[in-house]
Amino acid sequence: IEVEGAVEDLIQTICSYNLDKHVEAISAEEIQKLSKYYNWSMYQALLHATKYSLNAMKERICGRRNAPKMQLKPFFDVDVLLDNGKCILKPSLEDIQNAINRAASHVLKSTKNVQNWNQKDIPEDKREPFYDWIAKDKEIVKVILLLTGSIQGTKNAVNTFVESFEEYQWLWTENINENLKA
């Protein structure tokens, strides 16, 4: 709203400027072009910010291909716990995936609060937000799909890691005192 208001102020200043008599006045078409240009720039800024945020999430969660291994802080802290004689992850992979899905959804939905311009005459609940355009962008859809399935690719490796603790299962399933007597 602030940017749209600033552009309207700019247009008003341009239109109210006294021109020489031999200079042609600015047409309504040119004013419309200027407004559309800044509306498009606003859309591009929101699109870029959304892409950047989602790609940053993707890089932290999925890592980069063909990139040198860097030491990054973990995106999630996951513990392996002993629960009723079984090794489990806390939080579970499903909980982690749900958190990633919610975060990606919130990044995308943040654009719902920014309305497309030139809709002042339309009731607020009927106005079109930039979200409608951004959610249809191919790059955005691609990153959202990658994020919503990001944990699935690591599931086998994590399960293998958790299963590696089964080698020591005797420590919590057998009576150590009886084994020491034997």
In a domain, 28, yes or no: no
In a domain, 54, yes or no: yes
Q: How many domains does the chain have?
A: 1
Indicate if the alpha-carbon torsion angle 78, 80, 82, 87 is positive or negative: positive
| pTM summary value | 0.76
Of the pLDDT bands very low, low, confident and very high (cuts 50, 70, 90), residue 1 is low
Tokens linked to 115: 């309305």
In a domain, 33, yes or no: no
**Other CB atoms within 10 A of residue 111 CB:** 20
Helices 93-109 & 138-148, crossing angle to 10 degrees? 160
In a domain, 165, yes or no: yes
Q: How far apart are CA 133 and CA 50, in angstroms?
A: 12
- As a whole number, the mean pLDDT across the chain is 86
Pick from 56-70, 83-97, 141-155: least confident: 56-70
**Other CB atoms within 10 A of residue 177 CB:** 7
What number is the average pLDDT over the span 65-75?
A: 65
DSSP letter assigned to residue 63 = -
At 88 the three-state DSSP class reads strand
In a domain, 32, yes or no: no
Of the pLDDT bands very low, low, confident and very high (cuts 50, 70, 90), residue 70 is low
In a domain, 164, yes or no: yes
Q: Using an 8 Å Cβ cutoff, are 54 and 103 in contact?
A: no
Question: What domain range is 121 assigned to?
Answer: 45-181
Return the percent helix, strand and coil in the chain, to nearest 5: 65, 5, 30
Q: Using an 8 Å Cβ cutoff, are 31 and 11 in contact?
A: yes
In a domain, 34, yes or no: no
In a domain, 97, yes or no: yes
